[in-house]
Amino acid sequence: MRKFPFIWLLLASFVCIFPASVWALNSEVTLYIDGEEQELQHPLLYENQDVYIAIDTAAHLFALEGSYEPAEQKANLVISGTTYHFQESDPATAEGQPLPDKDAQGIVAHNQFYIPLSFVADKLALRMSWDAWTGTASLYEKSEPTRPPKPIFTNDPVTEQELDSKVLGVDQLPFNWRDPAQVTRVSLEGGRLSVQTNSPVEVQPLYLADPGGDHADRLVLDIPHAVLHGEVNGESADSGYDLFVDHPIIRQVRFAQFSQDPLIVRVVLDLKQPVTYQVEAGAQNGFAVSLQSAGSAAYRVVIDAGHGGKDPGATGISHRYEKEFNLNVAKKVQAALAGHPQVSIRLTRDDDTYITLEDRSSMANDWPADLFVSIHANTFERPISGTETYYWNENSKALADLLHASLIDASGFDDRGVRKTAFKVVKETKVPAVLLEIGYLTNAEQEQRLLDNAFQDLIAQTIAEGILEYLNLS
């Protein structure tokens, strides 16, 4: 970020820092229904932090009636007997009455009429989730949350032999049962386990906890009257399978044909820590299980990679752009905090994208977040060096002091102080918000370190540890 005389510094606080959205309108978005990727007539779009689906694609995918009138930029979609009317930039109407939420507004793009996927999901009683990191939208059938797991306390530690002697849900099988269901896929995406079958199934969960601490907690999922398909996940699974995963709360996933008489498929999640869970029926067949650390406090943190897209930010001696450094460090901070169950992270952008300045603060204010950290590198006409930290609102001073001191200790850069300056990105953010100027790209020695991958790892880890310390989680 270029340094100006005082009056220009004030102007810069309002116009020089540009945010970026996570996904742009033309970014590729993948749709999964019950864990299966869908082939779509027209690609999904992401705009204004919403996923949009074309009217004719929604009609084809969910067997609905839909139409689009390009000349008038109007569209209709019939869901559960109700006809919804859409017009670009206006709220949808049903039976002549406008719908109360702005989520029903449509847009026209690529000669198609698009409406929010969340609107369609809500009307079809489907649960929608969005993963900005992978650009993936997923739909599942809604269900009521299960109660938090009650650990099974025994006088002796729970053993695998004791578990093997227990068949869950057998007494609940009806007399005239359908043909056995086949388990075709077992997969883990983030905090969600997906089990796919070729026909509807029931699932009987059991949570095992050892009060002595000699054995890790386990979540057992029995699927009555089910068999393993000849190939599960594309591999032979006649005798079962162990799925080892790199995951913050799950050590491994095991599944096997537990019993032949009666037919039982058992899925076991070996856990690294206690969890709460929710079992949901699949939108088609099978089921999904959402897991979260039992001690989660769900702190929300926005990491802002400064500049992006047509706004490159500062230009270093080697002609590298600041926006690249900012994004690299922001992603590394996210990765450093990904394994911490009590922190949820959002990036203002995860690619080279440009949006309006207000959207940076809006993302934190609307979530709402608990913290906002904006990452930058600096520039000046003379080869000065050092680290500066900016804040505006008084609720941000403690965070600014903590992160600044940590960065000085880790980097060894000159201490150029913590400064109260009305940069818009921190002024308009309601929660504690800071802007970090890590170092100067126009200083040859500092630029070399700033562009070094190992140094970026160090800076990211320092920021992550500072956030945890501020939240009393370190």
Q: At 434, which helix (H) or strand (E)?
A: strand 433-440
384-393 confidence digits (pLDDT tens): 899 999 999 9
Answer for the pair 198, 284: CB distance below 8 angstroms, yes or no: no
Q: What is the pLDDT of residue 102?
A: 58
Residues 6+ apart with CB under 8 A from 452: none
Q: What percent of the chain has pLDDT over 70?
A: 76
CATH for 6-21+297-470 is: 3.40.630.40
- B/e letters for 259-297, b = 16+ CB within 10 Å, e = fewer, are eeeebbbbbbbbbbebbbbbbbbbbbbbbbbbbebbeee
Domain ranges of the chain: 6-21+297-470, 30-131, 160-293
Q: What is the pLDDT of residue 34?
A: 67
Q: What is the pLDDT of residue 432?
A: 94
**What does the CA dihedral 89, 128, 45, 329 come to, rounded to 10 degrees?**
110
Q: Encoding tokens for residue 252?
A: 């491994």
Q: Encoding tokens for residue 335?
A: 């990765």
* Residue type at position 316: G
User: Is 215 or 18 the better-scoring residue by pLDDT?
Assistant: 215
**What does the CA dihedral 399, 405, 407, 411 come to, rounded to 10 degrees?**
180
| Nearest residue to 125 via CA among 112, 111, 143 | 143
CATH for 30-131 is: 3.30.457.10
125-157 confidence digits (pLDDT tens): 877 766 655 677 777 665 443 333 343 333 333
Among the residue ranges 62-66, 178-182, 376-380, 445-449, the one predicted with the least confidence is 178-182
Residues 6+ apart with CB under 8 A from 384: 440, 443
Q: What is the DSSP letter of 106?
A: B
Q: What is the pLDDT of residue 326?
A: 95
User: Is 354 or 148 the better-scoring residue by pLDDT?
Assistant: 354
pLDDT-derived band at 474, boundaries 50, 70, 90: low
212-253 confidence digits (pLDDT tens): 666 778 899 989 888 888 777 766 655 556 676 777 778 888
pTM: 0.44
In CATH terms, the fold of domain 160-293 is: Immunoglobulin-like (2.60.40)
